[in-house]
Chains A and B, each alone.
Chain A
């Protein structure tokens, strides 16, 4: 008897899409973004390009002046002189080891911070993870020099257990680097784990899995992209380091120290540039390899 009214309410007009992108705003966006884009384009990428170009130049053996002639000699030397090859592989190995150590240390800490700790404890932990970042990297490396020294803290603490300081060398370098870069692993893993809904943990337990099975089958696979994201930091920072190895590495050489001595002592800028290209290429290969894991969305 009462016929339903067919007058559909007039649709409200959709608001204009993001006024920042609208036509008049286009210019404003451009002006706003110009300085940072200039920085990225000129100061940042251009410097990298300059590095690469320099690596393709030669050097006058007598005067030490740079000769602007295109040559692949620098790269040939890196490949043909065994010590440079060894140092490159050693550096990559140490960077990988540092990354693994950091991942193993960071995961339980991050899991505790993200899913177990009370909000108060979590805040305290975040601050204590971040705090070392406020201190100078140089000072922290020197602190570790003291720890590793003969009769230093490690010797003293380890004595009852028969543990001795490894002394200055690659082991000390690895431990120091793992210490320095640990926050760069903890923070992305913590952020990644925080995004995993609690209900997934509950669902796993509900379906019969104990805590360890849940970690292995649910938490680790889900945290993996975040761990890879952290590894990008720890791996690349370790590849490029020269301070830690200079301070606690004894006579050991890594890519960073070779670059440093070639810029300074040997004054062979083109060779230093070529050698510095190695970590860049290794990182590009690494980023390409992990692009599928979703790690790049986790940075």
Chain B
């Protein structure tokens, strides 16, 4: 795999704040790469340094083989889709889309043709004459995308581009963005704080926290094998089993996480499969969430586990809050060993 974007020891300090700390990343050619993290984790700063809007305090940025660390934004072969879209309000849609070609002195006919083509890519044919103020949020987002794509950059940088859209539109745009990325074959670097968005669109995801990368992995690896407690908690939900609970309940040292959908609530005294543990407890709360129902089970000894059950219309007895003893069935294979877990327990997990 050839690296399209490489950062080496990339560091950015804003005064006392270390926004990005010694970051090494390699983003492959044609990859849909997401940078996921809570606000203030440094993901947007990395994007802005790749775009050229911020100068790194230390470290280097390569596009392909070329060192672009000291180049201004207009000399870099990358384009950005901004969080607020940054559509020029005094130009109509086609002039917005043409802008990059116009300042690069592409001739008029060619410019129009490519702009129309870019508008077609984002399914906005016939919108060229509209003013930005006449467009909906989703349409503006598409214009911003077309305006960036028309330049055929090596890398497209997207800074939380779906953040301002409502949920339904966001889901549609997620699929469409992925589709467009496949069609144009450009490397996408996508910044988001929405883990579902990152999982559903990306080839690989880098999870950021406090200016550092916690893990770079495919969505499946990220969810199934989170490298740290932070990743386990931030990507999806998980039950954390601390060292004391692990020793008492599981009989093993170390700390663990387990996904709610890997747990089942069963009647007390139900038969145990091989490798399965039965943890007795009582259902303290039930939350109906549409496709699933969550039950909070307080185990004997104090720890509480969240159990997720799909509402598949089966014949299972309904989950109810009661003082009746039930058990949580937990397969050892479902345990995710977190940092602090020994080599030995990682193998059994």
Contact = CB atoms under 8 A, between A and B. Distances in A.
Contacts of B288: 2, 4
Contacts of A213: 103
B156 to A, nearest CB: 11
Given A1-B311, A2-B293, A206 B88 contact: no
A36 interface: no
Contacts of A207: 74, 79, 99-100, 103, 147-148, 151
A203 B72 CA distance: 12
A197 B83 CA distance: 12
B74 A208 contact: yes
Contacts of A217: 99, 102-103
A205 interface: yes
A209 B90 contact: no
Contacts of B148: 206-207
A209 B74 CA distance: 6
B311 A206 contact: no
Most buried by B among A203, A204, A209: A203
A2 B318 contact: yes
B275 to A, nearest CB: 29
A221 B90 contact: yes
Interface residues of B, number: 32
A81 B105 CA distance: 55
Interface in A92-114: none
B103 A1 contact: no
A73 B103 CA distance: 59
Contacts of B89: 222
B277 to A, nearest CB: 27
A210 interface: yes
A221 B73 CA distance: 22
Interface residues of A, number: 20
B276 to A, nearest CB: 25
A197 B90 CA distance: 13
Interface in B280-300: 288, 290, 293
Contacts of A202: 51, 53, 73, 80, 82, 86
A43 interface: no
A205 B73 contact: yes
Contacts of A290: none
Interface in A217-261: 217-218, 221-222
Contacts of B293: 2
A271 B115 CA distance: 62
Contacts of A199: 82-84, 86
A200 interface: yes
Contacts of B84: 197, 199
B313 to A, nearest CB: 6
Interface of B: 51-53, 72-74, 78-80, 82-84, 86, 88-90, 99-100, 102-104, 147-148, 151, 288, 290, 293, 311, 313-314, 316, 318
Given A206-B73, A217-B102, 4 more contacts: A202-B80, A202-B86, A203-B86, A204-B99
26 contacts: A2-B311, A4-B290, A199-B82, A199-B86, A200-B86, A200-B88, A202-B51, A202-B53, A202-B82, A202-B86, A203-B86, A203-B88, A205-B74, A206-B74, A206-B79, A207-B99, A207-B100, A207-B151, A208-B74, A208-B104, A209-B74, A209-B103, A213-B103, A218-B88, A222-B89, A222-B90
